[in-house]
Amino acid sequence: MPLDALFTEFPGNPLLQSPNLERLCVLSRKYNFVLVVDETIGSCANVNTLTSCDVVCTSLTKMFSGTCNVMGGSVALSPVSPFRDDLYTALNTNHGGSKWFPADVLLIENNSRDFVSRTRRASVNASAVAKQLRLHPAVNEVYYPKGSASQHIYEKYKLRDGAYGFMLSIRFKSPAKAIAFHDTLDVAKGPSLGTNFSLACKCSPLCVCAESVADIKSRRPVYAARVIQRAYVGGRVRRGGGPCED
């Protein structure tokens, strides 16, 4: 079956593993398909994946804006992609001209002025949280790019001043411990990410049903979902430039 395009995330959501983009890029050239990477979780403040794919797409609704009051997205074409000219023509033919409401443009531009500093701050916070949670006796595993089995892949694309991202997932040793954590954690609860404040949510069976071969073979995806919690660590600072609140 011919393949037109392959879509992946860098890193993945919610288990924060980094796919081998170099390998996927080689396959895309061999079999002539477009490789599209969504780097919303990593963000262009931390990583640059354009060297190993054809298209990078990003949700501007998330950390780029950070305030939950505007929606948008972006598409960037790799300058080294053999598909660049065809993709550029197709984008201009099918989506030429701005589709933005003018007020949204002004709002997202204003929101994004401190995007890099917010992202880096939230990433530092998340790294500290991941380190602490990995030591907790109720936690079985923390999914975060730093310290993961695919950290070496993430670091191939990490910017010199970049960090490891602002999201992590926690696998607890039992559903009871996961529920206690979720109910006790004093942050906003919801499925989004990339806000200026911290968010937490329980993972659904849909997004973690293929968490591991063991879970698939033993038919335990629902159990896996019940013990995993996803957390987005915010990057707000107190007025006057004090320490991080979240």
Give the chain's domains with CATH numbers. 5-111 (3.40.640.10), 113-232 (3.90.1150.10)
Query: d(Cα 72, Cα 76) in Å, to the nearest integer?
Result: 14
Q: What is the pLDDT of residue 239?
A: 39
pTM: 0.85
pLDDT attached to residue 39: 95
Buried b (16+ CB within 10 A) or exposed e, 89-112: eeeeeeeeeeeeeeebeebbeebb
Query: In this predicted structure, what is the pLDDT of residue 201?
Result: 85
Residues linked to residue 35 through DSSP beta bridges, in sequence order: 6
To 10 degrees, the CA torsion angle through 185, 188, 189, 190? -150
Give me the pLDDT at residue 230, please: 83
Q: CA–CA separation, 113 vs 78, rounded Å?
A: 24
Q: Are 42 and 60 in contact (CB under 8 A)?
A: no
- Run means of pLDDT, 10 residues per run, the chain, 246 residues: 92 93 96 96 95 96 90 93 94 78 92 93 94 95 95 97 94 90 88 83 58 49 61 61 39
Q: Whole-angstrom Cα distance, residue 45 to residue 158? A: 9
